[in-house]
Structure 1
Amino acid sequence: MFQHLAKPARTIAGKLGDTILALIATLHVLFALSLIVTLLSLSPAHAADDACGGKNLIADMRASDPARFAALERQAAAVPNGKGIFWKIEKAGVAPSYLLGTMHVTDPRVLAMPKGADAAYETAQTVIVESDEIVDDRKAAAALMMQPELTMFTDGKSIKDFLKADEQEKLAAGLKQRGIPLTLVAKMKPWMIASFVALPACEMSRKAAGASFLDKKLAEDALKQGKALKGLETLVEQLKAMDALPVQFHLDALIETLDLGDTVADVMETTTELYLTGDTGMVMPLMKAVSEETSADKSTDYADFEQRIVIDRNKTMASRAKPILDGGSVFMAVGALHLPGNEGVIELLRKDGFTVSSMSSGN
């Protein structure tokens, strides 16, 4: 597996890249996952004992093939706005606003936020998150139930119709570790089920114990402090973006995640440390390199993922944020993957007349 340095770099990079692709997609639906966890009433009994652990796999990749990894680093360095998760937004005549790239997890290191972000949050009059529906689980759940086809098989099928016997066994075992019987979620779409197994048990346990992921905490604190809270998307819009990807893409991601077993904690740690060091520009080059060296189908999957889950949503976020940012004194928090690139939120805001400058390279 990843921990063996003798493995070719292509094997390490390939599995890591594929799984980060699945994980990043999964993290985009943690809003919905938060609701499902609540609905399933997972037991929080072991929450305090579940340390995530995990190992950063980047060192393995660098050691296995330094030249190839150096090439990836050069690609990452060339990504516009690919370094840093905390940015200042300015426009003449109004108070400055701030933009934080987030990771939708409960990890205390992520919740701490980079230097200066706490002060910026305190002075803000308005807080923007991807979806303000995350503060009202009942209302959000009701909205999802109005369109069950986005999260469930409504044609009589279940996940068992798409998996081989051994794959079903792996899935049942992975869900059991998280206190979820397969029969309870069998009617869910594969990407919803992947949400439960793509995250380490510690993350699921913390959420079940009531811990809020970063975006939700920022939204909840805004209401407590009397700030205006604005959302850029609805949960249904987010779910439609995920559901628009091919079923086979989600099935492949689910199976690949199951094959990881306990090393999913390593993938989470790797992704988290990329985030904490502000290396958001590394994620897409890594995934693109993997897709190009595997199959044409994989390359198509990558392009489809990037367009639907990242670029299309970037445009929506930037256009809806503009009139709010025009008023100044805003703290905006969206997934960090939406920030970098020529079609990232930062560049789109610049095209709308804002000056956006980096405030931090990480925590």
Structure 2
Amino acid sequence: MKHKLSLLLLALFSIIGLQAQKLENSTLWKIEGNGLDKASYLFGTIHLTCDATIENDVKKALDDTSQVVLEIDMDDPELQTKMIKGMYMKDGKTLKDFVSEEDYQAIDSLFIKNIGVSVKTSENVKPFFLAASLYPHILDCPLQSFEVELIKIAQIQGEDVHGLETIEDQIQVFEDIPYQDQIDDLLEMAKDNLASDKKDFAKMLSVYNDENITDLLDMMDDDENSSVAKHQDKLLVTRNKNWISKIKTYANEQATFFGVGAGHLAGENGVINLLRAEGYTVTAVRSE
């Protein structure tokens, strides 16, 4: 349950992107130079997928490093409690405070059709979390997660798992973005009972499987129906920039395997470009 909740939160960050710089097609990148004694690796994940098989090049990178750092420490025993605490809207607000009766019924119908439960049971939950609860119904397959698989390998190898940010940091993002903007996305999902979302996610999976991180980012940015696109600074840019100092610290301590959403890799303010700006050599690792 702890991992399921955190994965749903992570998945929220997979829908937003920036205008991307063209990079080689690879989800695995080697970080060297700038005083590092040993190379570290940066792996772009997709948080919810149909097939989270860890390929041989990624396994080798895990073997060549001695700790795993994800967006958040998903192995934190208090993660579930912290997430539940931050799920609710502040000041006693509920969904009905932001929508017409017609729109409320549309959202309620969406939940009844897909989850079998009325949204009335959770109408005080932040809209982003409501949207996340629908993600399992967008994929026509049993859900898998790269983060869960990476944690399994770290545990087998006896390695520590850390996070680039806290769960409180991630939850705060959805407090900083107006509730109304979040609700607009729910209404878009309700318009065709997730049909467009299923189509878009299938395309995203295909692009990810091609390891085309530039096209993945462009595709996200082209989602004209996503009302949260105007909050890319909060969802992506600020977080990427905040991560760089932490990536530097971890990599200087020991060879580290970093796993973050693939949408964070490309672009002018993507992690790859930001690391290169700090003086690191960041090169694509091609599958053999």
TM-score category (smaller protein): 0.7 to 0.9
What letter is aligned with 2:131?
A
- 2:8 is matched with which residue? 33
Match of 1:302 among 229, 233, 255: 229
What letter is aligned with 1:184?
T
CA distance in 1, matches of 2:216, 2:192: 19
- 1:118 is matched with which residue? 59
Distance 1:184 1:163, change over 3 A: same
What letter is aligned with 2:118?
P
Distance 1:312 1:330, change over 3 A: same
Q: Does the residue aligned with 1:107 lie in a helix, a strand or coil?
A: coil
Match of 1:135 among 66, 71, 75: 75
CA distance in 2, matches of 1:93, 1:172: 53
What letter is aligned with 1:271?
M
For residue 169 of structure 1, report the CA deviation from its aligned partner. Answer: 3.0
Q: Does 1:161 align with 2:100?
A: no
For residue 191 of structure 1, report the CA deviation from its aligned partner. Answer: 1.2
TM-score (norm. length: structure 2): 0.82
Match of 1:223 among 155, 160, 185: 155
CA distance in 2, matches of 1:245, 1:169: 24
For residue 197 of structure 1, report the CA deviation from its aligned partner. Answer: 2.4
Deviations 1:81-103 (A, max 9, x none): 36321111112562222110011
For residue 349 of structure 1, report the CA deviation from its aligned partner. Answer: 1.5
Give the 5 Å matches for 1:254-269: 254-263=186-195, 264-269=197-202
Q: Does 1:171 align with 2:112?
A: no
Instruction: Indicate conservation of the 8 Å contact 2:54/2:149, yes or no.
Output: no
Distance 1:285 1:169, change over 3 A: same
Q: Tell me: higher relative CO, structure 1 or 2? Use CA pairs within 8 A at least 6 residues apart.
A: 2
Instruction: Indicate conservation of the 8 Å contact 1:101/1:335, yes or no.
Output: yes
Give the 5 Å matches for 1:145-156: 145=84, 148=85, 150-156=86-92
CA distance in 1, matches of 2:8, 2:222: 29
CA distance in 1, matches of 2:7, 2:69: 18
- 2:209 is matched with which residue? 276
For residue 283 of structure 1, report the CA deviation from its aligned partner. Answer: 4.1
Q: Does 1:239 align with 2:180?
A: no
Gaps of 5+ in 2: 11-17
Match of 1:99 among 21, 42, 47: 42
Distance 1:288 1:106, change over 3 A: closer
What letter is aligned with 2:283?
S
Instruction: Indicate conservation of the 8 Å contact 1:103/1:275, yes or no.
Output: yes
- 1:90 is matched with which residue? 32
Match of 1:197 among 109, 117, 134: 134
Gaps of 5+ in 1: 1-28, 36-74
CA distance in 2, matches of 1:80, 1:219: 30
- 1:69 is matched with which residue? none
Q: Does 1:81 align with 2:14?
A: no
For residue 335 of structure 1, report the CA deviation from its aligned partner. Answer: 0.7
Give the 5 Å matches for 1:6-21: none
Distance 1:101 1:289, change over 3 A: closer
- 1:251 is matched with which residue? 183
CA distance in 2, matches of 1:188, 1:234: 20
CA distance in 1, matches of 2:48, 2:7: 13
Distance 1:288 1:95, change over 3 A: closer
Distance 1:284 1:101, change over 3 A: closer
Deviations 1:140-184 (A, max 9, x none): 133245xx4x42134333213323334333323332322443232
Instruction: Indicate conservation of the 8 Å contact 2:29/2:41, yes or no.
Output: yes
Distance 1:201 1:345, change over 3 A: closer
- 2:14 is matched with which residue? none
Deviations 1:34-70 (A, max 9, x none): 79xxxxxxxxxxxxxxxxxxxxxxxxxxxxxxxxxxx
Q: Does the residue aligned with 1:360 lie in a helix, a strand or coil?
A: coil
What letter is aligned with 1:100?
F
- 1:58 is matched with which residue? none
- 1:343 is matched with which residue? 269
Q: Does the residue aligned with 1:356 lie in a helix, a strand or coil?
A: strand
